[in-house]
Structure 1
Amino acid sequence: MSCLTSDVRAFEARASDADLDDLRARLAAARLPEAETVHPAASGARRWDQGVPLADLAEVVDYWRTGYDWRAFEDRLAAIGQFRTTIDGLGIHFLHRRSARADATPLILTHGWPGSIAEFADVVDELADPEDAAAPAFHVVVPSLPGFGYSDKPAATGWGTEKIAAAWVELMGRLGYGEFAAHGGDWGGNITTVLGGRFPEHVLGIHTTFAEGLPGASTDGLTAAEREWAEETRHFWRHRAAYAKQQATRPQTIGYSLVDSPVGLLAWILDKFAEWSDTEDSPFETISRDRVLDDVTLYWLTRTGASAARIYHESHNSLDPGLRVDVPSAITVYPRDIEKYPRPWARERYRRIVRWRSPDAGGHFPSLEVPGYFVKDLREGLAAVLAARR
């Protein structure tokens, strides 16, 4: 079936040559600070103690200006298929790749921050049309969150995770998908949780890398490894979450830098790719510069640094403590992710966990860091979810 209706329109992402020339000119004229004052013997992750090291940033800036090809990313998006529709007065952009398989299941993939649809661009085809005929196939929908990428920027408050989840149900319905599976991490995991909890009549089940426990959960009865997870999560929020507090309280203030300076935007996002990836030093150990720059350039060209930050102002710490998910759930906790909730805590919210995995490698961006494992795990997790429905 075609998704083209009066409410859904084909879309082409095409930056102007003038915008790309302006980006390169700004990069060439960038004013960089002096080098960081870390200990001279610092190596590995310790080099990043004050943020993105000057030498690393300067190298990426030079490649962004002289070697990176944005047009190649535009071509990848076009090959998948891009569309727009308007929901509650807001234009929503999304990728839509229908499977050739008659037994395919509709699936919505939701990104977070500082991610975007770029996180999933390289895995959509594998999910839609796997080479292995025994593997499950999916009709894949990848929306851009409100204020992100080619979706519209909300002009008023109200577009929090609850409203976004409701909009996703409407979006899937317009595509002919009255029932569907859902996956997400980061904000996408939060939204996926809301989808499963609020819309069980539409959601067949969920797969998530973000399974937030309930506030005030006790560590009594946890194993030593589970206690370590809990402590790592608490340490993150106490000592490494300044970015979230800034965007939750003053998104407009940081937004001026993110929209006006490509180097400022790059540093703000690259810092998270480095800190949240499963690497010993640079995020480029597992993620190519091109993939990181696909994401950063999408923010730059759409001028969404401020509008994307506002999701924190709308929804930071807002997941309803009373929300329970009774649809089948598959949960994967990657070892270097920033929030890791022990299974006993997760069970309090997700009451039908049919598959739980904690792999040996991967961080906050698994579709980019370990794409082969990510696709396999997502397929197997959703297969378990769908089997539990029978």
Structure 2
Amino acid sequence: MSIYPPPLDAAQGNAILPFTLDVPQAALDDLAARLARIRWPDRETVDDWSQGVPLARMRVLVDHWRGAYDWRRCEAAVNGWPNYRTAIDGLGIHFLHIRSPHPDAMPMILSHGWPGTFLEFLEVIGPLTDPTRHGGRAEDAFHIVIPSLPGYGLSDKPIATGWTVERIARAWGTLMQRLGYDRYVAQGGDWGSAITRAMAVQRVPGLVGIHLNMVVCFPPPDEDFTDAEAQEARDVAEAHKQTGLGYSTQQSTRPQTLGYALADSPVGQAAWIYEKFQAWTDHDGDPEQALDRDAMLDTIMLYWLTDSAASSARLYWESFRSAFGNAPIDLPVACSIFPAEMRRPPRRWAERVFSDIIYWNRAARGGHFAAFEQPATFVEEVRAGLRSLR
């Protein structure tokens, strides 16, 4: 049973409508019934995560899901911030919009990726919008907009092909214009990084600079990989290529086939995402060192409750082979490299694509889900990275 929001009425035009997340109890009861009749696979034949999520770890996560997890807690946290939906290019787009109490705040749109959601930004909303209450300065304040990608969670699912990274970038430009922002910055990681870069390539109206926490750049043809940074970048990329691309190959070639399994099995959906939380976060072997169980289950629940497995995977089918190219960007670019990220290029590789790098820093801790894992560090990186654009 899905809680997928009903499509917006075309007659509503460009209206921005308040939205409240209120999952029917029947959807939660359906989930409980499915979790009560799990058919488990047999145990892996290794003693690590190399074959996927270990059976014992999955059982622990599901036991917590069934016994201690409370979706209504997450729902209340979401509804504690202003939620909206508006129609853009034929789709209803969900977003959070939080204006800073500081009138001179810089507007910023933040974009998530897969298997992320807007939830990964909840802990950074307060410090970004109201820094004086969180150890910052008034001049560090942002007005922030956090949309859900098309096909992800509370935004509409495209019913035809064509919703590429570039189209989403144009939609985000429309959203910021509709909200009245004529000068703003954009931030993103994962697909959010690709969307943010596409906004810069297109020079969407009002965009003055971007911040990335996943920086995909490629070595020059004559790279000799003699320095430590280049060696690290090569080794990390090669390891991901060898053992980490199974999910993206499936999602970029046969997302619909995958969807049947994940739409029907909550444990299947959970394992598909839990594996990435383990592989892409910064920890010493236990993903719960980076994210607690409830935080991981909040994300899993949003995918499950909205039946977003296939619709989110289709973004890979649409854009995976073209999203992270070498299109030059001459707008100001700030880059934060986190130590457990799947791409960690040297600055000189990025300079081949970004002609105006205004900030480059390597954070001490954190991985692919930077705002989710290390919210305080993420906030400081965004503040420092974009400070010169105020």
TM range (shorter): over 0.9
2:348 is aligned with what amino acid? P
Tell me, in whole angstroms, the C-alpha distance in 1 between the residues paired with 2:166 and 2:14: 26
Q: 1:33 aligns with which of 29, 41, 52?
A: 41
Deviates most, 331-340 or 228-237: 228-237
The residue that corresponds to 2:314 in the other structure is: 310
- Contact kept? 1:363, 1:369, Cα under 8 Å: yes
2:22 is aligned with what amino acid? R
Please state whether the residue corresponding to 1:166 is helix, strand or coil.
helix
Q: 2:291 aligns with which of 272, 287, 306?
A: 287
Please state whether the residue corresponding to 1:83 is helix, strand or coil.
strand
Please state whether the residue corresponding to 2:146 is helix, strand or coil.
strand
After superposition, the Cα gap between the structure-2 partners of 1:100 and 1:286, relative to the gap in structure 1 and judged at 3 Å, is same
After superposition, the Cα gap between the structure-2 partners of 1:200 and 1:20, relative to the gap in structure 1 and judged at 3 Å, is closer
Please state whether the residue corresponding to 2:365 is helix, strand or coil.
coil
- Contact kept? 2:114, 2:312, Cα under 8 Å: yes
Instruction: Indicate whether 1:147 and 2:155 are aligned.
Output: no
1:377 is aligned with what amino acid? E
- Contact kept? 1:215, 1:321, Cα under 8 Å: no
**Residue 156 (structure 1) shift:** 0.5
After superposition, the Cα gap between the structure-2 partners of 1:376 and 1:343, relative to the gap in structure 1 and judged at 3 Å, is same
The residue that corresponds to 2:94 in the other structure is: 93
- Contact kept? 1:229, 1:341, Cα under 8 Å: yes
Tell me, in whole angstroms, the C-alpha distance in 2 between the residues paired with 1:146 and 1:340: 28
TM-score, with length taken from structure 2: 0.93
Tell me, in whole angstroms, the C-alpha distance in 1 between the residues paired with 2:289 and 2:28: 27
Please state whether the residue corresponding to 1:48 is helix, strand or coil.
coil
Please state whether the residue corresponding to 1:122 is helix, strand or coil.
helix
Please state whether the residue corresponding to 2:51 is helix, strand or coil.
coil
Deviates most, 365-374 or 234-243: 234-243
The residue that corresponds to 2:257 in the other structure is: 253
The residue that corresponds to 2:4 in the other structure is: none
Please state whether the residue corresponding to 2:122 is helix, strand or coil.
coil
After superposition, the Cα gap between the structure-2 partners of 1:164 and 1:217, relative to the gap in structure 1 and judged at 3 Å, is farther
Deviates most, 229-238 or 176-185: 229-238
Deviates most, 244-253 or 323-332: 323-332
The residue that corresponds to 1:164 in the other structure is: 168
The alignment covers a number of residue pairs equal to 376
**Residue 343 (structure 1) shift:** 1.3
Please state whether the residue corresponding to 1:146 is helix, strand or coil.
coil
Instruction: Indicate whether 1:81 and 2:82 are aligned.
Output: yes
Tell me, in whole angstroms, the C-alpha distance in 1 between the residues paired with 2:265 and 2:214: 31
**Residue 144 (structure 1) shift:** 0.3
Tell me, in whole angstroms, the C-alpha distance in 1 between the residues paired with 2:345 and 2:245: 17
- Contact kept? 1:135, 1:379, Cα under 8 Å: no
RMSD: 1.7
The residue that corresponds to 1:323 in the other structure is: 327
After superposition, the Cα gap between the structure-2 partners of 1:8 and 1:215, relative to the gap in structure 1 and judged at 3 Å, is farther
Please state whether the residue corresponding to 1:252 is helix, strand or coil.
helix
1:188 is aligned with what amino acid? G
Tell me, in whole angstroms, the C-alpha distance in 2 between the residues paired with 1:19 and 1:218: 56
**Residue 216 (structure 1) shift:** 6.1
The residue that corresponds to 1:70 in the other structure is: 71
1:219 is aligned with what amino acid? E
Encode CA deviations 1:43-75: one digit per residue, 9 max, x unaligned: xxxx11111111111111111112111111111
Encode CA deviations 1:277-303: one digit per residue, 9 max, x unaligned: 111212111211111111000000001
Instruction: Indicate whether 1:133 and 2:137 are aligned.
Output: yes
Query: Which consecutive unaligned segments of at least 5 residues does structure 2 have?
Result: 1-11
Instruction: Indicate whether 1:382 and 2:383 are aligned.
Output: no
Please state whether the residue corresponding to 2:299 is helix, strand or coil.
helix
TM-score, with length taken from structure 1: 0.93
Instruction: Indicate whether 1:117 and 2:118 are aligned.
Output: yes
After superposition, the Cα gap between the structure-2 partners of 1:336 and 1:125, relative to the gap in structure 1 and judged at 3 Å, is same
Tell me, in whole angstroms, the C-alpha distance in 2 between the residues paired with 1:94 and 1:121: 12
Tell me, in whole angstroms, the C-alpha distance in 2 between the residues paired with 1:60 and 1:273: 13
1:356 is aligned with what amino acid? W
**Residue 238 (structure 1) shift:** 3.3
- Contact kept? 2:185, 2:208, Cα under 8 Å: yes
After superposition, the Cα gap between the structure-2 partners of 1:322 and 1:268, relative to the gap in structure 1 and judged at 3 Å, is closer
Tell me, in whole angstroms, the C-alpha distance in 2 between the residues paired with 1:376 and 1:320: 26
The residue that corresponds to 1:219 in the other structure is: 223
The residue that corresponds to 1:8 in the other structure is: 16
Tell me, in whole angstroms, the C-alpha distance in 1 between the residues paired with 2:332 and 2:206: 13
Encode CA deviations 1:79-106: one digit per residue, 9 max, x unaligned: 1111001111111110111111111111
1:120 is aligned with what amino acid? F
- Contact kept? 1:108, 1:140, Cα under 8 Å: yes
Please state whether the residue corresponding to 1:248 is helix, strand or coil.
helix
Encode CA deviations 1:122-161: one digit per residue, 9 max, x unaligned: 2112111112334511111000000001100000100010
The residue that corresponds to 2:177 in the other structure is: 173
After superposition, the Cα gap between the structure-2 partners of 1:315 and 1:217, relative to the gap in structure 1 and judged at 3 Å, is farther
Encode CA deviations 1:152-183: one digit per residue, 9 max, x unaligned: 00001000100000000000111001221110
Please state whether the residue corresponding to 1:204 is helix, strand or coil.
strand
Tell me, in whole angstroms, the C-alpha distance in 2 between the residues paired with 1:281 and 1:140: 34
- Contact kept? 1:85, 1:92, Cα under 8 Å: yes
The residue that corresponds to 1:364 in the other structure is: 368
What percent of counterpart residues are identical? 45
Tell me, in whole angstroms, the C-alpha distance in 2 between the residues paired with 1:129 and 1:147: 31
